[in-house]
Amino acid sequence: MNAKDQDVFAQALDRPEASIPWQLGNLPEQRFAQRFNILRNTVHAGRIEALRQVYPAVERLLGADYFTALAALFSRQHPPCSAVLHEYGAHLAVFIEQFPPLADWPFLADVARLEWARLQAFHAADALPLQLGGLDEEALHRLLDLRLQWHPSVTLLRSTYPLWALWSSAELPHDNWPGENVLVWRQGLQLMTRQVDNSSAELLEQLQQRRSFSEAALVLQPHMDIEQLCTRFSMLVYWQVFS
């Protein structure tokens, strides 16, 4: 099969409404149609299942039937760009935001972003984490002036919705439920997902800009005291968030 025929075959698989490429078969039309439709259904079912594996909380919130219909529509409009299915589904959050039937569920896109961040963290590059063990007092003081960087697996999500509760329990938000921040990263080989308060999130954002802890503290001290800052910094280092 030449490149042109491969394109025709692939486009027919992608679009259920597309005509069957009869010219590429060497079987009677009825048998070729049956086999091609089986292959077409297998391709679409595989994409839907790949999305289901990445977005279990979105499925819990929507219900299995609604999620299947949503994933089928997404897969038709956004076919994979890679044969590696764990790379598929990056645009689902944007798709949900722009999907009119879900306009009353604006929080759902943030849940999808969280689940995609977990997949990205799982497959992120390895990097040696910053650790405090074995450092003497002089080295600890130098650490405060060191410009840090996030571990490649880290994503911080700051949401105006109760993101942690939505993801962890699939409970729909109440009107007066405050927003929540969620930190995603990989600690060694273990995928980590934790809720963090606004102070920790603000410290992380300052350090993401390649500021040292000392520089970040000068910016944040009007809002929190140095003891709070040191406590949160120690927690983040212990979690192996920096490399």
Cβ neighbours of 2 (radius 10 Å): 7
| 62 or 18, greater pLDDT | 62
Give the tens place of pLDDT for each residue, 132-159: 766 667 777 787 788 888 999 999 999 9
The C-alpha angle with vertex 192 and arms to 190 and 198, in degrees rounded to 5, equals 160
Supply 203's token pair: 């410290």
**pLDDT above 80: residue 119:** yes
Count of all residues that appear for the chain in the document: 243
Sheet architecture: strand order including 155-158: 155-158, 181-187, 190-196
Q: Which residues contact 214 (CB under 8 A, 6 or more apart)?
A: 144, 145
β-strand partners of 185: 192
Domains in the chain, CATH or no CATH each: 1-105 (no CATH), 126-243 (3.90.930.50)
Give the tens place of pLDDT for each residue, 91-100: 999 999 999 9
Supply 63's token pair: 């219900």
Rounded CA-CA distance 179/156 in Å is 14
